[in-house]
Amino acid sequence: MSQYTKTEQALILLAKTFFEYAGKSDDGNDEELEQGEMEELLNNELKNFRGKSNALDFKQFDQDQSGSVTFNEFMRHLAAVSQEFKGTVKQAAKSGCDAAQ
Ligand SMILES: [Ca+2]
Ligand SMILES: [Ca+2]
């Protein structure tokens, strides 16, 4: 992945995480997160932020209420939620990721 910039790598990592969890269960849909997959992703990958926000919730990610979360829904809601963490994220960015606790 070294030909990519850090920012590009961050986006690739988000996509990688999304698809890793989207294909976890044998629901036949490796392109979208069903509720169980989403819960697992939130608990494993966004646990620190989740403890600070009610917005990191399956129903809020699933904006069209289709019962599953597409990559677009995932990225759009994550971007929206990151507004809530602006202070935390900014502070962590300045002093290293350990400050994100
Ligand atoms: Ca799935
Ligand atoms: Ca949906």
Q: Name the superfamily (CATH) of residues 6-100.
A: EF-hand (1.10.238.10)
For the chain, which residues make up each domain, given as ranges? 6-100
The Å distance, Cα 66 to ligand 2 centre, comes to: 4
Asked whether 98 and 66 are in contact (CB, 8 A), the reply is no
Name the DSSP class of 32. S
Neighbouring C-beta atoms of residue 56, cutoff 10 Å? 21
Ligand that lies nearest to the alpha carbon of residue 69, given by its number in the listed order? 2
| Of 60 and 83, the one with more pLDDT | 60
Residue 8 binned pLDDT confidence (cut-offs 50, 70, 90): very high
Give the distance (Å) from ligand 2 centre to CA of residue 53: 20
DSSP 8-state class, residue 33: E
Which pLDDT score is estimated for 10?
94
Q: How far is the CA of 46 from the centre of ligand 1 (A)?
A: 18
pLDDT digits (tens, 9 = 90+) for 34-50: 999 999 999 999 998 88
Q: Which ligand is nearest to the CA of 30?
A: 1
Check residues 84 and 24 and name the one with the higher pLDDT: 24
The predicted structure's pLDDT at residue 99: 47
